[in-house]
């Protein structure tokens, strides 16, 4: 939908919500769990009585595996994983269609990460949600994503179906990222050729001309410095921004 003006923005906020990266700083320490989860309901006035509000909060808590006795506690009384569950419950309060998940498991222990990721999958199936899942952990990305977009310095380098990106990455940056994914089988891992990038990441405030990846790309030519490559479809639903994509694959 096109968002123009305050009215459209308010309507958009009913359809799109967000789960933040840090479960320790994204929850108000002065509010109870019930008030944190109900805050979107309060803002958009989505209940008629306090009892209706409480029932909705308890329903949301049950979605994310929290007990009703947790409702009157404060965020500091919970572990990181439980706090993130509170944040997820809050994001579900207004029945959104779209949720932006900004590295929602990066601050959690690995064992807790798996629980939260599985919960995201279950909620998606149950509520029909669409996620924009932002992450650096490529194993997490592969597990949860249907489509993957690879970005570098704020520019889209490649986008396509998750399995296609993992099995057949076309952009040199994507190829380097995929080569770094740990492989549990030691035999296959020894045969895997790691593509190590050289040089430092340029500043986003002073990005290179043309393709932003060219200063670290072994395939870069003068053309890469002169112009940003077109983000074009090179296979069904598989898009790449690279002048030399057909030559290097």
Q: How far, in Å, CA of 189 to CA of 193, rounded?
A: 8
Largest separation between any pair of C-alpha atoms in the chain = 67
Q: Is 214 helix (H, G, I), strand (E, B) or coil?
A: helix
Q: Which of 103, 120, 145 is the last residue of a domain?
A: 145
Residue 94 makes CB contacts below 8 A (sequence gap 6+) with 14, 17, 40, 41, 44, 46
Decide if 66 contacts 82 (C-beta within 8 A). Answer: yes
107 plus 141 within the same structural domain: yes
Surface-to-core class of residue 45, CB atoms within 10 Å of its CB (0-12 exposed, 13-18 middle, 19+ buried): exposed
Instruction: Count how many domains the chain has.
Output: 2
Are 141 and 165 part of one and the same domain? no
Within a domain: 246? no
Are 169 and 139 found together in one domain?
A: no
The reported pLDDT for the residue numbered 1 is 67
Shared-domain flag, residues 125 and 194:
no
Q: Is residue 108 part of a domain?
A: yes
CA distance 116 to 100: 15
pTM metric for this prediction:
0.89
Please give the pLDDT value at position 198: 86
One domain for residues 135 and 107:
yes
The tens digit of pLDDT for each residue in 9-61 reads: 888 988 999 999 999 999 999 999 999 999 999 999 999 999 999 999 999 99
Residues in Cβ contact with 16 at an 8 Å cutoff, skipping those fewer than 6 apart: 96, 97, 98, 99, 100
CATH code, domain carrying 98 = 3.40.50.300
Same domain membership, residue 134 and residue 65? yes
Note whether residue 151 is domain-resident: no
Residue 212 placed within a domain? yes
* CA gap 234, 246 in Å, rounded: 9
Of the ranges 3-12, 14-23, 156-165, 168-177, which one carries the lowest mean pLDDT score?
3-12
Domain that holds residue 42: 12-145
* Structure token pair of residue 188: 């296959």
What is the pLDDT averaged over residues 190-199? 81
Same domain, 135 and 71: yes
């Amino acid at each position: 939908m096109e968002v123009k003006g305050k009215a459209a923005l308010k309507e958009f906020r009913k359809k799109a919500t967000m789960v933040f990266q840090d479960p320790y700083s994204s929850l108000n320490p002065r509010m109870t769990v019930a008030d944190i989860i109900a805050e979107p309901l309060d803002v958009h006035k989505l209940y008629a009585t306090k009892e209706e509000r409480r029932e909705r909060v308890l329903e949301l808590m049950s979605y994310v595996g929290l007990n009703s006795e947790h409702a009157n506690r404060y965020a500091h009384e919970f572990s990181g994983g439980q706090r993130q569950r509170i944040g997820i419950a809050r994001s579900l309060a207004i029945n959104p269609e779209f949720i932006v998940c900004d590295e929602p498991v990066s601050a959690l222990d690995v064992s807790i990460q798996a629980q939260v990721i599985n919960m995201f999958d279950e909620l998606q199936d149950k509520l029909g949600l669409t996620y924009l899942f932002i992450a650096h952990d490529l194993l997490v990305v592969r597990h949860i994503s249907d489509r993957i977009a690879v970005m570098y310095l704020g520019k889209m380098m490649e986008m396509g179906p998750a399995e296609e990106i993992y099995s057949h990455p076309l952009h040199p940056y994507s190829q380097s990222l995929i080569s770094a994914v740990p492989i549990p089988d030691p035999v296959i891992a020894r045969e895997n050729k790691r593509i190590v990038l050289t040089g430092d990441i340029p500043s986003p405030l002073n990005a290179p001309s043309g393709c932003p990846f060219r200063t670290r790309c072994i395939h870069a030519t003068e053309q890469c410095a002169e112009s940003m490559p077109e983000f074009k479809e090179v296979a069904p639903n598989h898009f790449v921004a690279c002048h030399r994509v057909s030559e290097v694959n």
